[in-house]
Amino acid sequence: MTPLLQISNLHASIDDREILKGINLTVNAGEIHAIMGPNGSGKSTLASVLAGREDYTVTAGSVVFQGKELLDLVPEERSREGLFLAFQYPVEIPGVSTANFVKTAVNEVRKHRGQEPLDPAAFLALMRERMALVEMDPSFLQRSLNEGFSGGEKKRNEVFQMAMLDPVLSVLDETDSGLDIDALRIVASGVNALRRSDNATIVITHYQRLLDHIVPDFVHVLWNGRIVKSGDKSLALELEQRGYDWLKQEAAVEA
Partner 1 sequence: MDQQTILDEIVGSDYKYGFTSNIEQELLPKGLNEDVIRFISDRKNEPEWMLEWRLKAFEQWKSMKEPMWPNVDYPPVDFQDIIYWAAPKKKPELNSLDEVDPEILATFEKLGIPLEEQKVLAGVAVDFVLDSVSVKTTFQDKLAELGIIFCPISEALENHPELVRKYIGSVVPTNDNFYAALNSAVFSDGSFVYIPKGVRCPIELSTYFRINARNTGQFERTLIIADEGSYVSYLEGCTAPQRDENQLHAAVVELVAHDRAEIKYSTVQNWFPGDKDGKGGIYNFVTKRGICAGVDSKISWTQVETGSAITWKYPSVVLKGDNSIGEFYSVAVTNNKQQADTGTKMIHIGRNTRSRIVSKGISAGVSQNSYRGLVKVLPVAQGARNFSQCDSLLIGDACGAHTFPYLEVANNSATVEHEATTSKIGEDMLFYCNQRGIDTEAAVALIVNGYAREVLNQLPMEFAVEAQKLLAISLEGSVG
Positions in the binding site for partner 1 (CB under 8 A): 51-54, 74-76, 78-80, 84-85, 87, 90-91, 93-97, 100-102, 104-105, 108-109, 112, 144, 161, 165
CA dist 37 to 9, 17, 72, 107, Å?
A: 18, 19, 28, 36
**Minimum CB separation from partner 1 for residue 123, in Å?**
15
Contact of 49 with 56, CB cutoff 8 Å = yes
**Helices of type H across 13-119:** 43-51, 75-80, 98-112
Could you please report the per-residue DSSP string of 161-190?
Answer: HHHHH--SEEEEESTTTT--HHHHHHHHHH
- Nearer of residues 161 and 205 to partner 1, judged by Cβ: 161
- Nearer of residues 71 and 105 to partner 1, judged by Cβ: 105
**Minimum CB separation from partner 1 for residue 255, in Å?**
34
Residue 141 CB neighbours (<10 A): 19
- Nearer of residues 51 and 214 to partner 1, judged by Cβ: 51
- Nearer of residues 4 and 171 to partner 1, judged by Cβ: 171
**Minimum CB separation from partner 1 for residue 145, in Å?**
8
